Structure 1
């Protein structure tokens, strides 16, 4: 179906539960204290908090729903009379998303197609388009929002090849069929002035892309206006047909693929959307921020303070107040009797509160471990257990087993997406740039995620060699798993030459001149 032609609520009402979660997880991912307070209703005056069930309503101090907000640390307002917020945020959510991206794309996967020409062209597109860096960005957004969209496009003025970009899940209205993306509509706000809002809608269907410009308000999409009415959409005016769309160049599917972070979704059962790494640990992250804020409060209150009598203060002049010099040694006698059993020095009071370092540290450490376990990661992946001595790849996998298990689950969603990406890039490349490469789905090869220990690998290869249980070709491939067949063969030939294992071809020996054998039947030379 084409773009909307009538005024309607935007985003569509059916997207409200998803958008509420995107707002919540986006606030944790961004780490802005003001945004967290806004999402959970923790302003100066108690406001409306986040409620996935849609029970939002104006709150009053006597209302029964106020307790729902007060359970969130970020939902509590700033105390009356306090000039600034002293709440502290620990960016563990951003660390989780970044670690997820590193586990997936810190080392680039290998995409291969059948033909040499296709492989060469695909490699050019991936390298010049910095596709792996874009995928790393997409994996981070995917972990935070529960899913991400990969979109293939082109710009013939700036690039000589197709380009890839990633879009977070909170700016799209997807349509699924049997778990696969059937169509999707992206939107962005181009200009916003009070109630005058300009929106650009981009809809992707099989073999088609539609663009539309709408002028409405904060809640309504408004009526569709010509694309030429705004400079950012004027470029599409010459590309679209009467229906507002154009041929995508990829008739076998969309120019967009949705990559879920993890399924199933625990709150929206039956949906094809993925769940965020933060799902279920929001309250723990909230408690971690409360713990760190309490720790810093102890530091502020624990500052040593000295209370002295007024006679110990030095008058600095009329209207200039008085000062206390802690290094002064001689004072005039006090015009009063000292307290019983004491002297004038006992008039000085030192105020020093205890700083509960160990209690706060243990609480924060325990909360952190629960957050990472709930998100599917090992604490070792975040350096919490210490670096220690050098470890082999097997030991690292053992220590970070939970993290690599989560990585393996996510690869099940990224592998078909990357296979589609290669085919879509080659199809657009042929349609727009006129290359003769036949588009096809790629074979995806993932690295191990951990660099093997060179010493342990050398010992393994040595034992295989002495046991004569692996060929030279196999040992070279174990040492260089990223090499292609031609590189492996060349290395094997060099090693055989150095070891003297190469035997000449018998057919080549025929051309070798063999000296004539001595004829023993010949008559001996006569002697005189």
Structure 2
């Protein structure tokens, strides 16, 4: 049994109490759902824009989905170019099997999905699994940081329980608990309430868990006494807790994101209130029947003595002044007055731009990565210099992903060998990302300069021009270049062959002297 029956939920752990509310807040920013923002954003941004809207019914809310853009951009920086796996020189069959398996499981898309989850919530679990009733090969799924209860030992994942709520009834909550520990996996279905785990019920009580085995699944033939699951932190260390939970890209930026939404809302409100209108005498207004009023008119209306109503429509273009206002001159004839408020476009734009640049930079990225401040034609070197902050974040995150990605690829192949009779890998694969594509013009100029200085070989020239080529492709190209380009003449060769050693040339010299 994973936990004691009738115990409180969620389990009282020091890290979970600290992280749970933040996961809810980050998930709300990531999703951009207005209801979730009103319910959870105030956790990390108290007293702000969304905290006020949480207690104020009605009204219009505006949201700038910058948090979602940051998470997606992070994933594209890490896995926009899919990493290459090397299973060894003599592992042709394993390599071919892996390529087929990677296509079937959606390897690249799964990694992109996991990287986006990690950027938003701070970490993600890579869960290999198999279900012969669903697929004829292993599968790879991503589990969010807020759907897991892990146990870390010496900074390493020792065991973990994945929690899936199958129905969200506060009086009868079904939780599917999937417990991974060294050498085995266990599935249990619990019936309880929102704050109590309740008791164990048969897996057959719900269609999702009906096909699962109630007995522990032995994973020793696959990986011995090791976990099949991998945890990837987005970044470390995590200053909020003493466990190696990853740090979200949104961490400590919640108040800035809240302020950005407030500026965006203020800007749109200026546009709404700044519509061109006229103020017209009351006699010019026509009665409005109750049944014909719009929503806005129903909110702002006044019943007159005759039973008809005169309405205020926020989208109307003509309004009537209130009678007997100070300064009114009854002797003057009624006139139509034009009202047009100025829109603070530049002020809002400057504030929003400053907030966006600050958020993006503090999240670890260059504004240019998001298409900002890129004016005119830039060389590859200039662009790389501007993108340096994003490049540094990319390299840092890839170092966290590399060991877990290698290991989970090996686990998938081991499952494929044990369950589906595929070839087993002899070793863990090597992993590397493709070299970034340099500017072709700058690459050609660099090769030319090194060639003029006689400081580069033909092989290195080809590798610089085609970094994506394999060594065999490079060797073939070097051979073709040597065949097409004749060797340069020897500068020490004057054209006349040297005489054989010991031969006397005196006769020729005497003949010339006569």
Question: Shorter chain as normaliser: what TM range?
Answer: 0.7 to 0.9
- Pairing of 1:2-21 with structure 2 (within 5 A): 3-14=2-13, 15-21=16-22
| 1:368 partnered with 2:361 | no
Provide the residue aligned with 1:276 in structure 2: 248
How far, CA to CA, are the matches of 1:363 and 1:316 in structure 2?
42
Q: Distance in 1 between matches of 2:91 and 2:473?
A: 15
Confirm or deny: 8 A CA contact 1:429 1:435 kept in the other structure: yes
User: 2:266 matched to which residue of 1?
Assistant: 294
Aligned pair 1:481/2:436, yes or no? no
Matched, 1:415 2:389: no
Q: Secondary structure at the match of 2:70?
A: helix
- Find the counterpart in structure 2 of residue 525 from structure 1: none
User: What is the alpha-carbon distance in structure 2 between the residues aligned to residue 24 and residue 314 of structure 1?
Assistant: 50
- Aligned ranges for residues 13-162 of structure 1 at < 5 Å? 13-14=12-13, 15-40=16-41, 50=43, 69=46, 71-77=47-53, 84-114=58-88, 115-117=90-92, 118-162=94-138
User: 1:360-403: CA deviations, max 9, x gaps?
Assistant: 111111111111121111111111213531531x2222011111
Residue 292 of structure 1, CA deviation: 1.0
| 1:353 equivalent in alignment to 2:341 | yes
1:140 counterpart SS class: helix
Question: SS where residue 22 of structure 2 aligns?
Answer: helix
Residue 7 to residue 488, structure 1, CA distance change in 2 (3 Å): farther
3-state secondary structure, aligned to 2:250: coil
RMSD of Structure 2 on Structure 1 (CA)? 2.8
Rounded to whole Å, the distance in 2 between the matches of 1:78 and 1:250 is 49
- DSSP-derived class of the 2:223 partner: coil
* 1:393-408 → structure 2 map (5 Å cutoff): 394-408=381-395
Q: CA deviation at 1:195?
A: 0.9
Structure 2 distance, partners of 1:88, 1:350, is 29
Runs of 5+ in structure 1 lacking a partner? 41-48, 52-67, 328-338, 502-528
> Aligned with 2:211: secondary structure?
helix
* 1:415-449 residue CA offsets vs partner (Å, 9 max, x unmatched): 1111212221222122112223234222211234x
Q: Is the CA contact (8 Å cut-off) linking 1:105 and 1:135 kept in structure 2?
A: yes
Cα shift at 1:5: 5.0
Shift of 1:411: 1.4
1:353: how far off? 1.8
Q: How far apart are the structure 1 equivalents of 2:49 and 2:179?
A: 40
d(CA) in 1 for partners of 2:54, 2:404: 46
For the pair 1:309 / 2:295, whether they are aligned, the reply is no
Structure 2 SS opposite 1:13:
coil
Q: 1:72, 1:283 within 8 Å by CA — same for their partners in 2?
A: yes
Aligned to 1:65: none
Give the match for residue 321 of structure 2: none
Deviations 1:214-247 (A, max 9, x none): 111111111112222222112112xx53xx3332
Tell me the equivalent position of 1:455.
441
CA distance in 2, matches of 1:206, 1:457: 50
1:452 counterpart SS class: coil
- Name the structure 2 match of 1:261: 234
How big is each residue's C-alpha offset from its partner over 1:167-220, in whole Å with a ceiling of 9 and x where there is no partner? 110100011111111111001011233411111111111221111111111111
User: Scaled by the length of structure 1, what TM-score is found?
Assistant: 0.79
1:458, distance to aligned residue in structure 2 (A): 2.0
* Secondary structure of the structure 1 residue equivalent to 2:43: coil
In structure 2, relative to structure 1, the CA distance for the partners of 1:149 and 1:298 (3 Å cut) is: same
Pairing of 1:418-433 with structure 2 (within 5 A): 418-433=405-420
Q: What does 1:377-526 correspond to in 2, within 5 Å? A: 377-386=365-374, 388-392=376-380, 394-448=381-435, 450-499=436-485
Shift of 1:78: 6.6
Q: Structure 2 vs 1, CA of residues 79 and 441 (structure 1 numbering), >3 Å: closer, same or farther? A: closer
1:210/1:246 contact within 8 Å kept = no
> How far apart in 2 are the matches of 1:380 and 1:460?
25
